[in-house]
Each structure stands twice: as structure tokens, then as C-alpha cells.
Amino acid sequence: MAKIQLLNALQCFEKAGQRLSFKQAAEALNVTPAAVSHQIKDLETYLGADLFIRETRKVKLTQLGQQLLPALVEGFNGIHHAVNRAKNNSQDNKLRINTSPSFAGRWLLPRLADFQLAHPEIDLLMGTSTKRLSLQQEEIDIAIRYGDGNYPEYQVEKISDEYLIPVCSPKYLATHDIADAINLQQCNLLNDQGMVDSLPDYPGWKDWFEQQGIECKAPLRGLSFESSNFTLQAAQGGQGIALGRSLLVADDLKSGKLVVAAPHTIELSYAYYLVALSLKINSSQYLEQDNVELFRRWIIHAL
């Protein structure tokens, strides 16, 4: 097999191995599933062994496939990272960041000026989205994502846990009797429906009451929103009480725009993660020209 053909076949295997799907690998590579299947078959012939166990409507990695995949993922990520660094060094000194609109607006943007003061030579380009990442296709250098950190095709580092706490405006707290937790059932409860829909087992108000041994005898009333940002804006506007994520409400609690409506919190199983092609998580190596590493160290310190 020629070197370029081998490289193409290895890339097809890497994408299919991460996703355990020839169809999804084809979508990632912008080719047909038949082309992916053909490339992987050629690679298996070249190696003289199967890389996948093919079952009806699904595939599994063989032992050889499991041994080969991690090295290929690391290798291709290293190639993409090196190419991006070379491109940045030759054309500009940009750092392309991506995160959710809620985290960008409520935590990151108010603090980015500190990073720019420390590193004025870096031009920041920040985008927002909540969709599944494709760093290479979207030319993203580093992303901040909230969830379970399941991005097997990239390097991932957990940077902050979170908890939920009931918050409302000072005026709403002053005009409603919520001295006891059970009284919150009579309030307008604001629901972050976007998080409930996107993350399995994400807790809501029913979970908050049940953790305190309070039975919800009737349907809880209130508004539902498709984003954390809208939910907290409604709370600031005096429309009710929201279960605010701790990082997103930190600045508003400090400024007094929001207040704690009840002290009981819910620890979350989800967290914030850095996602990139290459992260020097366990390395003492520190390259000053590596913009991703500079940003990584800054945000960990800021958190």
C-alpha cells in the first residue's frame, strides 16, 4: 500500500474507531460510508488482521483495533495541532475559542480583558455554540464545554465542578414568603429546560424538593426557557426563582443583582472541560508561543 493510501486508510479507521460507526466516520470525512468501508478493508488486508468485528447494524473493535486506535488518535491530533500552529505563526497570532453563549456572557467575557492585558500579542476570536464539536473543520483552537467530558477524539481536561442554588432578584425575595423551603412551591419557579433536555439526569425543581424530603403534591408552576442565560435573566427581572449554576450566578450574587433564595444546593455530576487537539495536562514543558497553553493556564488560574 502506498504511503498516501495508508495514511487515508488510517484516518478512516481512526474516525470509525472513535465513533464505532462507518456512517458517522464518513460524515466526519465528507466521503461515503462505502469509501470508509473500502479503506478499512484495505488496511485490514495490509495488516493481515481484522480491526473491527462487524455485527448487524454495529461494529466493535477487535483487540488489535483497541491497541492501534489510541496511538492514531494522538498522532492525528498532533498533526492537526502542528499544522494549526504553523498556520498561525505564518499568518497571524490568533487564538480561536469556542464556548456556550451562557458561559461566554456570564463568566468568560467579563474576564477576557485580563487575558488580553497579560498577552496583548494574541488576537482572540471567540465564537459560541452548544453543538457537538469539530475542532478541525471549524478551526477552533480550544473549546470550553459543559457536560460529561466525553470527547474521545480530543484531549480533555476538567477545570471546574458546579452546583445548583436557588436564586432570585432582591425585590422578589422581599415580596414573597420563602422563609421555609416548602414555601417555594407557591412561587414562580423558573426552569432551565435547555439543560434538562440536553443532559441526561440533569436535576430540576422536583429533584431539589425531593432532596429535602419535600413531596411535590401538585405540578410545580413556572416558566421554562431554552437556555441558562434566559432563565437567569428572568430571575434578575423578578419573574421568579431559578436554580442557578454556581459559576453562572457568581458575579450577579456578588453585585447584588441576584440573591440566594434558599440555602440548599444540588451537586452536579457534570462539569466544565477544556477540549483541544493537544493539552499539556501532565507536562512540565511550557512553550510561550503556544497560545492554547497560555489560555489553558490563565483560565485554570481564573477559576
Confidence at 84, pLDDT banded by 50, 70, 90: low
Confidence at 234, pLDDT banded by 50, 70, 90: very high
Q: What is the pLDDT of residue 267?
A: 94
What CA–CA distance (Å, rounded) separates 201 from 204? 9
Q: Where in the chain is the domain with CATH 3.40.190.10?
A: 86-160+272-302, 161-268
Domain with CATH 1.10.10.10 in the chain: 3-69
pLDDT in the model for residue 286: 42
Predicted pLDDT at 272: 96
Full DSSP string of 61-93: E-HHHHHHHHHHHHHHHHHHHHHHHHHHHHH--
Reported as a pLDDT band with limits 50, 70 and 90, residue 106 is very high
Question: So what CATH class is 86-160+272-302?
Answer: alpha beta
Q: How does residue 75 score in pLDDT terms, banded at 50, 70 and 90?
A: confident
Provide mean pLDDT across the span 18-35: 90
pLDDT of residue 287: 43
- Mean pLDDT, residues 127-144: 86
- Beta bridge mates, 244: 165
Q: How many Cβ atoms are within 10 Å of 246's Cβ, its own excluded?
A: 17
Per CATH, the number for 3-69 is 1.10.10.10
Q: Is the pLDDT of residue 88 over 70?
A: no
C-alpha span between 68 and 79 (Å, rounded)? 17
Task: Give CA–CA dist 55/22, Å, rounded.
Answer: 12
- Give the whole-number percent of the chain exceeding pLDDT 70: 91
- At 238-293, the pLDDT tens digits run 999 999 999 999 999 999 999 999 999 999 999 999 999 877 655 444 444 588 99
pLDDT for position 218: 67
- The pLDDT value recorded for residue 114 is 94
Residues 17, 229: Cα–Cα separation, whole Å: 36
pLDDT given for residue 183 in this prediction: 87
pLDDT of residue 138: 83
pLDDT class of 179 with cuts at 50, 70, 90? confident
Give phi and psi for 302, each to the nearest 5: -70, -30
Backbone angles phi, psi at 171, to 5 degrees: -65, -40
Pick the CATH number of 161-268 from 1.10.10.10, 3.10.530.10, 3.40.50.2300, 3.40.190.10: 3.40.190.10
Between the alpha carbon of residue 202 and those of residues 112, 121, 143, 182, the distances in Å are: 29, 40, 22, 21
| CB burial string 29-41: b at 16+ within 10 A, e below | bebeeeebbebbe
Looking at residue 73, what is its pLDDT? Answer: 86
- Tell me the average pLDDT of the chain: 88
Query: Among the listed ranges 79-93, 100-114, 195-209, which one has the minimum average pLDDT value?
Result: 79-93
- pLDDT mean over 199-215: 91
Q: What was the pLDDT predicted at 132?
A: 77
Q: Identify the band that residue 221 occupies on the pLDDT scale cut at 50, 70 and 90.
A: confident
Which of the two residues, 206 and 85, has the higher pLDDT score?
206
Categorize the per-residue pLDDT at 5 as very low, low, confident or very high, splitting at 50, 70 and 90: confident
165 grid coordinates: 442554588
